[in-house]
């Protein structure tokens, strides 16, 4: 049963299973945040930079292309293997965002591209980012905005609730959109010793064939896939049919053009 595993263990298993297909699914929309992330962190040539939750390494490689000296860490050995296979001048390592192995004040910059959503203890990870940053160093993360503005994150729970149940045997998880909330983000960052906190929107649109909707949801996400897999077969069939209907207003010529707004949040280590 899922409840016998921790949230962290389930996230680790889910992303490890997706490592080889990550770039085709999740990576297609996580790339939206990379340029904004690197700009917000003010990454430039010669700066030591840590990419936390680096996945298959796209943000790490982009930072290295700016001339930074980059280390990328991820808790999944499979993700790190995929990142290393891309080559590039990045030191990729298996590592835990909530217990970094690096010395205090080791980096000029720390970045996290949509990885905060997958952490069991994001406050601890933010505190660790502050610890390994040099005074005056810059931290930046990207995060999806919530159901108040994002059709994807509004439609999915509504459809599941209407045709199945959200009450499945999953372990407790941190609030998905907590760090897209300005008050929550400022509180957590300030508590970790950050100042000069800034927020900027990232407009993005996710395009995919409507016919591949079920395949996309199964492979692109971990949390939602766990919920869908715990539905009764008949309920899951109804959910998938209703999702297709719900995405029709965003579909043209068989292609879904789904707004997927995000935020980049950045701050300076005091």
The length of the chain in residues reads: 270
**21-36 tens-digit pLDDT:** 999 999 999 999 999 9
How far is it, in rounded angstroms, from Cα 42 to Cα 44? Answer: 6
Check if CATH label 2.130.10.10 holds for domain 2-269.
no
How far is it, in rounded angstroms, from Cα 233 to Cα 251? Answer: 26
**pLDDT in the model for residue 116:** 94
**Over its length of 270 residues, how does the chain's per-residue pLDDT go in tens digits?**
455 789 999 999 999 999 999 999 999 999 999 999 999 999 999 999 999 999 999 999 999 999 999 999 999 999 999 999 999 999 999 999 999 999 999 999 999 999 999 999 999 999 999 999 999 999 999 999 999 999 999 999 999 999 999 999 889 899 999 999 999 999 999 999 999 999 999 999 999 999 998 898 889 889 888 999 899 999 999 999 999 999 999 999 999 999 999 999 999 999
Decide if 233 contacts 124 (C-beta within 8 A).
no
Nearest to 178 by CA among 170, 187, 169: 187
How far is it, in rounded angstroms, from Cα 70 to Cα 50? Answer: 6
Predicted TM-score (pTM) of the model is: 0.95
For the chain, the domains span 2-269
**63-112 tens-digit pLDDT:** 999 999 999 999 999 999 999 999 999 999 999 999 999 999 999 999 99
Contacts of 221 (CB under 8 A, 6+ apart): 26
How far is it, in rounded angstroms, from Cα 113 to Cα 94? Answer: 16
Q: Between vectors from CA 255 to CA 218 and to CA 213, what angle results, nearest 5°?
A: 15
- How far the first Cα of the chain sits from its last, in Å, is 44
Q: Strand 69-74 to strand 48-52: parallel, antiparallel, or no bridges (unpaired)?
A: parallel
């Amino acid at each position: 049963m899922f409840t016998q595993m921790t949230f962290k263990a389930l996230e680790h298993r889910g992303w490890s299973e997706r490592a080889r297909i990550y770039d085709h699914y999740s990576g297609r929309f996580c790339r939206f945040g990379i340029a904004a992330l690197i700009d917000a962190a003010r990454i430039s040539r010669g700066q030591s930079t840590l990419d936390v939750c680096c996945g298959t390494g796209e943000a790490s490689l982009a930072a290295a292309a700016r001339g930074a000296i980059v280390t990328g860490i991820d808790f999944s050995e499979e993700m790190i293997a995929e990142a290393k296979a891309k080559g590039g001048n990045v030191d990729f390592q298996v590592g835990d965002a909530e217990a970094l192995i690096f010395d205090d004040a080791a980096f000029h910059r720390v970045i996290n591209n949509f990885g905060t959503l997958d952490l069991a203890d994001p406050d601890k990870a933010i505190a660790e980012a502050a610890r390994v940053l040099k005074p005056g160093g810059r931290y930046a993360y990207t995060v999806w905005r919530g159901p108040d503005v994002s059709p994807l994150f509004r439609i999915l729970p509504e459809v599941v609730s209407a045709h199945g149940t959200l009450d499945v045997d999953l372990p407790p998880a941190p609030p998905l959109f907590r760090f897209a909330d300005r008050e929550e983000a400022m509180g957590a960052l300030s508590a970790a010793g950050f100042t000069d906190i800034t927020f900027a929107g990232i407009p993005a649109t996710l395009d995919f064939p409507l016919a591949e909707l079920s395949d996309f949801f199964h492979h692109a996400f971990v949390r939602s896939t766990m919920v869908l897999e715990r539905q009764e077969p008949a309920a899951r069939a109804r959910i998938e049919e209703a999702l297709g209907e719900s995405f029709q207003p965003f579909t043209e010529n068989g292609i879904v053009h789904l707004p997927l707004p995000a935020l980049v949040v950045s701050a300076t280590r005091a």
